[in-house]
Amino acid sequence: MLCSAGASEVLVEGMKLVSATKTARTTEVCFVLLGQFNNGICHAKLSWRRSGSHASVQFDGNRVLEREERYGDVVGFYHTHPDGFVQPSDRDVRTMGAWSFSFGKPLICAIGTSAGVQAWLFEPGADSEEQCARAAKFSGNWFVASLR
Ligand SMILES: [Zn+2]
């Protein structure tokens, strides 16, 4: 009986994994990027994962604000586009512009799809964002983007 119960638990755990993977593919996920800029390179840890709906995801704005006030290490945001389009949406542009302006510093908007990661730099008060030359996500939730 114990063996059988154990096998059934494994099966249930396996099903949970499958269902979690399906969810990750069809809903947007976002992280706050905590790190630093140095010599045109952004190095950050993807932190505080949150998931949302198919087309949008919200992060905890108050927590981000408190973190920035206390440590000054919020360098941007990473989120996924489950449909795969690799451009910031109009909402992304408005949101990033507002955060960059309110922090008074440049912020990275990184977008992940099944094809990889792209990133844009939003300067406070700038008319348009600048695409980073290269961006990549590494195991352990590390993120690097090169501006040039
Ligand atoms: Zn987006």
* CA 30 to centroid of chain Cα atoms: 4
The pTM assigned to this predicted structure is 0.80
Q: Show the domains of the chain with their CATH numbers.
A: 26-146 (3.40.140)
Q: Give me 4's structure tokens.
A: 């059988």
Find the 29 Cα to ligand 1 centroid distance in Å: 10
Find the 111 Cα to ligand 1 centroid distance in Å: 7
Alpha helices by DSSP H, listed for 27-144, are 61-71, 90-103
Find the 3 Cα to ligand 1 centroid distance in Å: 46
Find the 92 Cα to ligand 1 centroid distance in Å: 5
Find the 1 Cα to ligand 1 centroid distance in Å: 49
Calculate the CA dihedral of residues 72, 75, 81, 82 and round it to 10 degrees.
-70
Please give the chain's pLDDT, 148 residues, in tens: 333 333 333 333 333 433 444 444 578 899 999 999 999 999 999 999 998 887 777 788 899 999 999 999 999 999 999 888 889 999 999 999 999 999 999 999 999 998 899 999 999 988 899 999 999 999 999 999 999 8
Alpha helices by DSSP H, listed for the chain, are 2-26, 61-71, 90-103
Residue 26, amino acid:
T
